[in-house]
């Protein structure tokens, strides 16, 4: 049975444009694709007859090496390997000849669905699966055609296998031998993709191409990148978002050995700051520490978390903009009720590699090296800031050490600031590249957090525990308002990222409304976006309703799931069976907790085992049932789930919150902002539901169900329902 295909076919290239690609690379077989019209979020369509030079996705050289260009950012999610696997399978290559490179910014590398070059929304495999298959299949067809012409035999008598083309009469040629001749072949307009039963790599657990170098320390990341004569800069940002420099004294900073210059620059959100440029990070940081700066914060809002929480709670008692309507009149007479108020703090992304960017600004060109999730936006922002055209900007994508959304900022904040530093440095009469590096303190205090939220739910149940009515209000900031994503994500005045996952997959009479507030705190998507809070609310409330009904929480969920929830049922059943839930006797003081949630079209169900150790919640084991359709690389999926579990666990730990007082972020470093660490990691078992349907996203879906499953286990042990993240048993 063939995999069901979505319409992601890549438009055909003209012969002229195809040859342009080949000549630009210099020898061998090169296939590149430009994707006109796929502009879901792009600002403008290309002109119909505009010339373009598509970049190559695939390069086969005469020495039999195959290099795949990855149109995304690789920052731990494994696409460096998975996308290469997809091409290698359709190409019928030998795995030993495969390698991968991160593609620079370019129109050819735009996401086939979103129409911009980006990494996010767990969309890499989901969106590019067919695209990369077609690239491999076209290259294979051209190699076969070249071999058939060389041997003067019908194409049908030749076939490819493990990096060679085989023909009648013992004919045999490697891909490298055929590469130049294949380049002269016409680009196939129609191609046949493999039957999944013939996959050699797709669906198999494949070690990652980058794992060895990452394990032995040889893998360079953006923060490692350096150019000869390069300077390093750090920026003193205003303590309140949008604040400005009133005056500063740089004398002590300039006295520090290695400091090359101090410059006032514009910063994000209309503010200003002071950049110190030096021979390296340490003298730059010492120089910044020595600055004397008076800040003007008189005309900017100063948020205090306690006041904001009180405001949110007051709003949550009022109906907001209705996103989903239902008759909730039965609440007035329901014999059983649940009234619950939840609160969630701001969260920082805290990737292990802090933000950084290398800029080489020339008079008529700018080159940058950066681990960007948003190459299209970032390149355009650099051009606008530098006074250049986008074609005068070269953005080289570097491997990044995590991001979780922080490197996908529509304002391109840290990159724009880096351009301002480069401009100031150049205006001082100096030349050469400058690397801007954020410290950990800059990272934690620098904004673009997961928004804080308050939820209020009123649920009415009958005597048998059937939900009669559910009135639900959410309060928080919009992360897409004012961005290019607003037209798609905001519907009828409600940001879909705030409410995603609410109600699903249960058939309940839910009235859902939202209050969208504004605050002088920059907010952004954070791994799994709205599901970071909606999954916790939904899955703990459903669990509480099951307890009130006197029904096993697994059975209760299964009964509430509708006929369209077969993937949820399958994932939940897998997690339950593999965990021993209901059949395995747990140690004294341990309890099971259950949760299931869909995000980015994938369903993850967790059965966890937890206890209280000296009154502190402890997570011992997580059993996962995963339904992500076809698993391209099961090893990558397992790794993604493990990482998401640890990150989700981190949201439950005391100290996992960003708080503000008078507009200033109170946390500074990992000493006062908690992240999960290795000793916190539970045992994890990952079980994937077999499927031949097109793959769905798996970078983020493993996070949302973890915290509610953990909370449900603690509720069984204590009888107390946890209403906030991080956990607070004293207020439960």
Q: Under DSSP, is residue 475 helix (H, G, I), strand (E, B) or coil?
A: strand
Question: What pLDDT, in 10s, does the model give residues 448-490?
Answer: 999 999 999 999 999 999 999 999 999 999 999 999 999 999 9
State the helix-helix crossing angle for 566-579 and 553-560, rounded to 10 degrees: 170
Ordered strands of the 453-461 beta sheet: 321-324, 510-517, 467-477, 453-461, 336-344
Number of residues in the chain: 732
- Which numeric CATH code is attached to 222-299+355-437? 3.30.365.10
| pLDDT score recorded for residue 18 | 33
CATH classification (class only), 15-210 = alpha beta
The C-alpha atoms of residue 624 and residue 161 are separated, in whole angstroms, by 36
3-state SS, residue 644: helix
pLDDT < 50 positions in the chain: 1-27, 33-55
DSSP code at position 731 = G
Within 13 Å of residue 362, how many CA atoms lie on the same side as its CB?
Answer: 8
SS3 sequence of 549-608:
HCCCHHHHHHHHECCCCHHHHHHHHHHHHHHCCCCCCCCCCEEEEEEEEEECCEEEEEEE
Strand locations in 7-161 (E): 29-32, 56-60, 66-70, 98-102, 159-161
For helices 531-549 and 706-718, the axis angle rounded to 10 degrees is 30
Q: Which sign, positive or negative, has the C-alpha torsion 54, 60, 61, 66?
A: positive
**8 A C-beta contact, residue 138 and residue 187:** yes
What is residue 107's three-state secondary structure?
helix
Contact between 260 and 626 (Cβ < 8 Å): no
Query: Coil, strand, or helix at residue 306?
Result: helix
**What CATH number matches the domain at 317-347+448-731, 3.30.2420.10, 3.30.300.30, 3.60.70.12, 3.30.365.10?**
3.30.365.10
Q: Can you tell me the distance from the alpha carbon of 515 to that of 474, in angstroms, rounded to the nearest whole number?
A: 6
Q: Could you give the CA distance from residue 496 to residue 505 in angstroms, rounded to a whole number?
A: 16
pLDDT in tens, 73-93: 999 999 999 999 999 999 999
The pTM (predicted TM-score) of the whole model is: 0.93
pLDDT of residue 28: 58
76: tokens are 């731990």
465 phi/psi in degrees, rounded to 5: 90, 5
Helix, strand, coil in percent for the chain, rounding step 5? 35, 25, 45
End-to-end CA distance of the chain: 52
How many alpha carbons fall within 13 Å on the CB side of residue 139?
Answer: 38
Distance of alpha carbon 681 from alpha carbon 677, whole angstroms = 7
Alpha carbons 493 and 490: distance in angstroms, whole number = 6
Q: What is the largest CA-CA distance in the chain?
A: 85
Kindly report, as residue ranges, where domains of CATH 3.30.365.10 are found in the chain: 15-210, 222-299+355-437, 317-347+448-731
Confidence at residue 404, expressed as pLDDT on a 0 to 100 scale: 97
DSSP string, 274-299: EEEEESSHHHHHHHHHH-EEEEE-TT
């Amino acid at each position: 049975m063939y995999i069901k295909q979505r319409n992601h076919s890549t438009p055909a290239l003209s012969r002229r444009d195809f040859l342009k690609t080949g000549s630009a690379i210099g020898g061998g077989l090169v296939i590149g694709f430009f994707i006109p019209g796929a502009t879901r979020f792009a600002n403008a369509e290309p002109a119909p007859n505009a010339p373009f030079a598509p970049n190559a996705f695939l390069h086969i050289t005469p020495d039999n090496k195959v290099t795949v260009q990855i149109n995304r950012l690789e920052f731990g999610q494994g696409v460096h390997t998975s996308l290469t696997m997809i091409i290698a399978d359709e190409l019928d290559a030998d795995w030993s000849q495969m390698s991968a490179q991160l593609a620079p910014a370019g129109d050819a590398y735009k996401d086939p669905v979103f129409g911009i070059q980006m990494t996010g929304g767990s969309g890499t495999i989901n969106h590019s699966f067919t695209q990369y298959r077609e690239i491999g299949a076209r290259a294979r067809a051209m190699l076969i055609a070249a071999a058939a012409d060389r041997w003067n035999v019908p194409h049908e008598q030749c076939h490819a296998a493990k990096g060679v083309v085989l023909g009648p009469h013992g004919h045999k040629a490697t891909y490298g031998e055929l590469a130049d001749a294949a380049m002269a072949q016409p680009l196939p307009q129609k191609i046949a993709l493999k039957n999944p039963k013939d996959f050699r790599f797709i669906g198999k657990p494949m070690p990652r191409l980058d794992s060895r170098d990452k394990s032995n320390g040889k893998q360079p990341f953006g923060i490692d990148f350096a150019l000869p004569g390069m300077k390093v800069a750090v920026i003193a940002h205003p303590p309140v978002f949008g604040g400005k420099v009133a005056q500063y004294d740089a004398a002590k900073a300039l006295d520090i050995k290695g400091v090359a210059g101090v410059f006032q620059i514009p910063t994000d959100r209309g503010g200003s700051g002071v950049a110190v440029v030096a021979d390296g990070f340490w003298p730059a940081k010492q120089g910044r520490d020595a600055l004397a700066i008076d800040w003007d914060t008189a005309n900017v809002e100063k948020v205090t978390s306690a006041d904001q929480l009180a405001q949110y709670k007051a709003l949550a008692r009022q109906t907001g903009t209705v996103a989903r309507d239902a008759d909730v009149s039965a609440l007035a007479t329901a014999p059983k009720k649940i009234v619950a108020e939840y609160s969630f703090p701001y969260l920082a992304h805290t990737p292990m590699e802090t933000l950084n960017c290398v800029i080489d600004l020339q008079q008529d060109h700018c080159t940058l090296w950066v681990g960007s999730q948003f190459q299209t936006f970032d390149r355009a922002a650099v051009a606008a800031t530098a006074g250049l055209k986008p074609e005068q900007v070269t953005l080289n994508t570097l491997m990044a050490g995590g991001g979780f959304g922080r490197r996908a900022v529509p304002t391109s904040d840290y990159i724009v600031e880096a351009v301002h530093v480069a401009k100031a440095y150049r205006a001082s009469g100096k030349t050469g590249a400058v690397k801007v590096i954020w410290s950990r303190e800059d990272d934690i205090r620098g904004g673009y957090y997961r928004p804080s939220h308050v939820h209020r739910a009123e649920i009415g149940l009958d005597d048998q525990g059937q939900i009669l009515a559910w009135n639900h209000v959410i309060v928080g900031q919009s992360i897409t308002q004012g961005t290019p994503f607003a037209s798609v994500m905001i519907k009828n005045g409600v940001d879909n990222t705030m409410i995603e996952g609410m109600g699903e997959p249960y058939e309940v009479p839910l009235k859902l409304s939202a209050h969208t507030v504004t605050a002088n705190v920059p907010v952004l998507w954070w791994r799994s976006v709205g599901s970071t809070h909606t999954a916790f609310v939904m899955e703990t409330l459903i669990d509480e309703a099951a307890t009130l009904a006197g029904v096993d929480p697994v059975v209760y969920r299964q009964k509430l799931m509708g006929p369209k929830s077969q993937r949820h049922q399958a994932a939940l059943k897998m997690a339950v069976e593999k965990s021993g839930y209901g059949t395995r006797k747990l140690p004294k003081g341990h309890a099971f907790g259950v949760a299931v949630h869909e995000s980015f079209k994938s369903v993850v169900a967790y059965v966890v085992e937890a206890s209280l150790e000296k009154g502190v919640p402890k997570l011992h084991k997580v059993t996962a049932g995963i339904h992500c359709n076809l698993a391209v690389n099961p090893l990558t999926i397992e790794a993604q789930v493990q990482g998401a579990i640890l990150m989700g666990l981190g949201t439950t730990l005391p100290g996992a919150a960003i708080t503000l007082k008078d507009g200033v972020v109170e946390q500074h470093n990992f000493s006062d902002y908690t992240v999960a660490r290795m000793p916190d990691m539970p045992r994890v078992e990952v079980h994937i539901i077999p499927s031949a349907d097109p793959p769905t996203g798996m970078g983020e879906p493993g996070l949302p169900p973890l915290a509610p499953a953990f909370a449900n286990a603690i509720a069984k042990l204590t009888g107390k329902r946890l209403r906030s993240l991080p956990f607070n048993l004293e207020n439960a």
